[in-house]
């Protein structure tokens, strides 16, 4: 009974201890890790105590390490290198193994220090980096070279002076900030580790070849590395007018495994030749099968999807501008190749979006052409119906004595209405032939007067001759302007309407009425966009203005005041002259 009560209490104690460990700041683990390392390396003890301190050091390192989050479950394949490194560090009594471990730790310290935003943690990691370098250069490296006779002052400074740095870290203000791991930080750490290893091997080479003392070999190695780094810095970003190693390296990383410029040029050429967005993407991806590091993939867009190449074990996906791309490769992509794939996906997405917009504009242009043709023909039919209503009204109001005049009117008007209706049907069949037919000005002017001879419209013309006029344009504009002016009489009785045709020096047709002026907002947008209309679609004058612009004329509201509202259709310079 007593044992069953004690067992749960043990689990509670272990749980509270684990919770307490999770609350310890990373800087505390770092300081304890360095102190355990110092005790194992510097103080002369038997093998058992040294291995115990090394094992404690490695355990504290696992509690501090910034590579894997503490709550992450470690897979066996990742745990194997961890235990292998611990076994090598504890079981192998070699100063070169310790030097390698110190170089790795120094690289990690440098990587973590660059990612710190606060001053306190940054100073802590810089102190740790200084401690590791001092321990390596003043203790481990001389012993690895066989120079064990260190000065007594140096030995005392290393044994009792260096631990002050971990103690300072231990008593720095605690912070819970963890370093933000990134590819750039690991690159800094790797470069720092490599520099330390090169320095150690350089000292060994100088001692072995030149047979000089360790301090002088260290000075020579440091001077040589300083000169090399200075030369590399000048070559990385020179100021002599040529590209440096930095630009060459960036160009290599951006073009690794692919002639990027050649593929982009082929992509632009294909974009000019291919109109369908999905076909363009399919052909562009088929051209990428020459890449050895891309086995295949899958693409999906709004109007289709497809595959290219062959399936592979690893994949990466990107989506840009409605184009989803999945790239498959036999091996995981390196950071440079992953950036390269992202650039390819983004470039394909931009081209695909451009092709989609181009197709949308074509469809809109086609719909707009249909709308323009339908609107113009609708107004033509409406004007013909208005003329037929006028004839029917004249027939209803006629008396038996007016039968001869009515018959003559019908004989004049009905053939014209039939001809205009036939032209409208022909335009509907062949919209491309609109605005092509020309008619002599004298014939057109006479036909216009005949159509409106019973509407009390006054016609004025000077020197009418056979100057050719675009029949469709003048019929459409004249009917629109006269119909709108005559419609004012329904609300404003007594409105006078007149039409004037001038052929020289420029052809112009002016329709004027004595009704009310058009509102300012209507007059401002009359020829720029459709306006609200209670008697039609509101696009008559808008379509007429666009039709006039296509054949070299312009339609304007030349006068807009109460009692005088004038619209003028006039040829531009060089158009409409005999």
Residue 414 lies in a domain: no
Query: Is residue 77 domain-shared with residue 161, that is, in the same domain?
Result: yes
CB 188 within 8 A of CB 114: yes
Check residue 244 and give its pLDDT. 65
Residue 11 lies in a domain: no
CB 136 within 8 A of CB 196: yes
Check residue 511 and give its pLDDT. 92
CB 28 within 8 A of CB 170: yes
d(CA 39, CA 49): 9
Condensed to tens digits (0 to 9), the pLDDT of residues 103-125 reads: 999 988 888 888 777 787 888 88
d(CA 468, CA 435): 12
Domain end among 350, 365, 380: 365
CB atoms within 10 A of CB 91: 11
Domain end among 365, 397, 424: 365
Query: Is residue 35 domain-shared with residue 167, that is, in the same domain?
Result: yes
Condensed to tens digits (0 to 9), the pLDDT of residues 250-286 reads: 666 555 555 556 667 777 788 878 878 888 888 888 7
d(CA 444, CA 416): 11
Tokens 């304890």 — which residue? 32
Residue 222 lies in a domain: no
Domain end among 365, 389, 420: 365
Query: Is residue 145 domain-shared with residue 37, that is, in the same domain?
Result: yes
Domain that holds residue 127: 26-202
Check residue 302 and give its pLDDT. 80
Helix, strand or coil for residue 5? helix
- For residue 320, give the nearest of 338, 304, 343, 303 by alpha carbon: 343
Query: Is residue 292 domain-shared with residue 356, that is, in the same domain?
Result: yes
pTM: 0.48
Instruction: Say which residues have a Cβ less than 8 Å from residue 517's Cβ, sequence separation at least 6.
Output: 523, 560, 561, 562, 565
Looking at the 3D structure of the chain, how many domains does it have?
Answer: 3
CB 270 within 8 A of CB 284: yes
Residue 108 lies in a domain: yes
d(CA 195, CA 208): 20
Residue 1 lies in a domain: no
| Strand bridging mode 438-440 / 304-309 | unpaired
**In the 3-class helix/strand/coil scheme, how is 155-194 assigned residue by residue?**
HHHHHHHCCHHHHHHHCCCCCCCCCCCCHHHHHHHHHHHH
Query: Is residue 274 domain-shared with residue 195, that is, in the same domain?
Result: no
d(CA 438, CA 155): 112
The pair of structure tokens assigned to 98 is 């310790």
Query: Is residue 162 domain-shared with residue 311, that is, in the same domain?
Result: no
Q: What is the CATH number of the domain that holds 498?
A: 3.30.565.10
d(CA 117, CA 112): 10
Query: Is residue 164 domain-shared with residue 276, that is, in the same domain?
Result: no
Q: What are phi and psi of 137, to 5 degrees?
A: -80, -30
Check residue 532 and give its pLDDT. 59
Q: What stretch of H or E contains 319?
A: strand 314-320
Check residue 2 and give its pLDDT. 45
Per-residue confidence of the chain (578 residues) as pLDDT tens digits?
444 444 556 555 555 654 555 566 777 888 899 999 988 888 866 677 888 888 888 888 888 887 766 555 666 666 777 778 778 888 887 888 888 999 999 988 888 888 777 787 888 889 999 999 999 988 888 888 875 567 778 888 888 888 999 999 888 876 654 444 444 467 788 888 899 999 989 988 888 888 888 888 889 999 998 998 888 877 777 765 556 666 666 666 555 555 556 667 777 788 878 878 888 888 888 776 566 677 788 888 887 788 887 888 888 888 888 888 888 888 787 776 777 788 888 888 888 888 888 888 877 776 666 666 666 666 667 667 766 776 677 677 777 776 777 677 677 667 767 766 776 666 665 555 555 678 888 888 888 888 777 778 899 887 788 888 888 888 888 888 888 888 888 788 888 999 999 888 888 899 999 888 888 777 777 777 766 555 544 567 777 888 888 888 988 888 888 889 999 998 886 555 44
Check residue 164 and give its pLDDT. 92
The answer to whether the peptide bond before residue 578 is cis (omega within 30 degrees of 0) is no
Query: Is residue 189 domain-shared with residue 261, that is, in the same domain?
Result: no
Query: Is residue 64 domain-shared with residue 186, that is, in the same domain?
Result: yes
For residue 556, the number of C-alpha atoms closer than 13 Å in the C-beta half-sphere is 8
Query: Is residue 281 domain-shared with residue 182, that is, in the same domain?
Result: no
Instruction: Say which residues have a Cβ less than 8 Å from residue 390's Cβ, sequence separation at least 6.
Output: 454, 455
Residue 486 lies in a domain: yes
Strand partners, 500: 460, 510
Residue 440 lies in a domain: yes
Q: Return contacts of 543-550, CB within 8 angstroms, 24+ apart.
A: 543/372, 543/375, 543/376, 543/379, 543/476, 544/476, 544/477, 544/480, 546/372, 547/376, 547/435, 547/472, 547/473, 547/476, 547/477, 548/473, 548/477, 550/435
Instruction: Say which residues have a Cβ less than 8 Å from residue 151's Cβ, sequence separation at least 6.
Output: none
d(CA 64, CA 29): 6
Distances in Å between the Cα of 388 and the Cα atoms of 174, 414, 420 are 96, 8, 12
If you write DSSP's letter for every residue of 58-105 in order, what string do you get? HHHHHHH-SSS-TTSPPPHHHHHHHHHHHHHHHH---HHHHHHHHHHH
Q: What share of the chain is helix, strand, coil (3-state, %, to 5)?
A: 65, 10, 25
CB 328 within 8 A of CB 296: yes
Residue 392 lies in a domain: no
Check residue 70 and give its pLDDT. 57
Q: What are phi and psi of 461, to 5 degrees?
A: -150, 150
Query: Is residue 184 domain-shared with residue 74, that is, in the same domain?
Result: yes
Strand partners, 499: 459, 511
Strand partners, 559: 566
Query: Is residue 310 domain-shared with residue 195, that is, in the same domain?
Result: no
């Amino acid at each position: 009974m007593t044992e069953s009560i004690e067992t749960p209490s043990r689990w509670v104690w272990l749980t509270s201890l684990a919770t307490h460990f999770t609350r310890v700041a990373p800087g505390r683990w770092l300081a304890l890790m360095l102190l355990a390392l110092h005790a194992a390396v510097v103080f002369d003890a038997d093998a058992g105590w040294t291995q115990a301190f090394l094992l404690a050091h490695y355990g504290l390192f696992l509690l501090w390490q910034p590579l894997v989050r503490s709550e992450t479950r470690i897979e066996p394949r990742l745990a194997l290198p961890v235990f292998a490194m611990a076994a090598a560090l504890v079981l192998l009594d070699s100063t070169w193994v310790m030097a390698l471990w110190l170089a790795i730790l120094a690289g990690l310290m440098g990587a973590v220090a660059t990612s710190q935003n606060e001053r306190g943690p940054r100073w802590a990691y810089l102190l740790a980096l200084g401690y590791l370098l001092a321990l390596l250069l003043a203790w481990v490296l001389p012993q690895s070279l066989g120079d064990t006779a260190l000065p007594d002052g140096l030995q005392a400074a290393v044994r009792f002076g260096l631990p002050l740095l971990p103690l300072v870290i231990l008593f720095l203000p605690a912070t819970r900030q963890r370093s933000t791991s990134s590819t750039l930080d690991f690159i800094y750490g790797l470069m720092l580790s490599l520099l330390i290893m090169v320095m150690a091997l350089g000292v060994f080479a100088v001692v072995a070849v030149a047979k000089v003392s360790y301090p002088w070999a260290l000075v020579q190695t440091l001077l040589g590395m300083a000169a090399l780094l200075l030369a590399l810095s000048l070559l990385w970003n020179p100021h002599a007018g040529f590209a440096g190693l930095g630009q060459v390296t960036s160009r290599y990383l951006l073009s690794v495994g692919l002639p990027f410029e050649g593929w982009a040029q082929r992509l632009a050429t294909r974009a000019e030749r291919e109109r369908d967005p999905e076909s363009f993407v399919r052909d562009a991806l088929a051209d990428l099968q020459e890449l050895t590091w891309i086995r295949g993939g899958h693409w999906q867009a709004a109007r289709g999807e497809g595959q290219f190449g062959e399936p592979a074990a690893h994949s990466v996906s990107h989506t840009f501008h409605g184009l989803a791309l999945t790239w498959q490769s036999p091996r995981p992509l390196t950071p440079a190749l992953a950036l390269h794939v992202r650039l390819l996906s983004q470039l394909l997405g931009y081209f695909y979006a451009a092709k989609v917009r181009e197709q949308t504009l074509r469809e809109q242009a086609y719909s707009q052409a249909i709308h323009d043709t339908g609107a113009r023909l609708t107004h033509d039919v409406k004007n013909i119906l208005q003329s037929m209503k006028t004839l029917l009204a004249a027939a209803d109001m006629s008396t038996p004595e007016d039968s001869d005049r009515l018959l003559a009117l019908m004989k004049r008007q009905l053939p014209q209405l039939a001809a205009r209706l036939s032209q409208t049907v022909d335009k509907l069949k062949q919209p491309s032939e609109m605005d092509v037919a020309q008619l002599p000005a004298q014939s057109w002017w006479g036909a216009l007067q005949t159509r409106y001879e019973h509407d009390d419209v006054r016609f004025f013309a000077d020197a009418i001759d056979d100057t050719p006029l675009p029949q469709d344009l003048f019929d459409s504009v004249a009917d629109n302007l006269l119909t709108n002016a005559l419609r004012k009489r329904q609300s404003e009785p007594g409105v006078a309407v007149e039409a004037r045709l001038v052929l020289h020096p420029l052809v112009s047709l002016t329709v004027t009425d004595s009704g009310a002026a058009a509102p300012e907002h209507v007059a401002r947008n009359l020829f720029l966009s459709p306006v609200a209309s209670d008697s039609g679609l509101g696009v008559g004058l808008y379509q007429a203005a666009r039709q006039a612009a296509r054949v070299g004329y312009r339609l304007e509201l030349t006068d807009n005041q109460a009692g005088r509202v004038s619209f003028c259709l006039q040829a531009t310079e060089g158009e409409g002259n005999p």
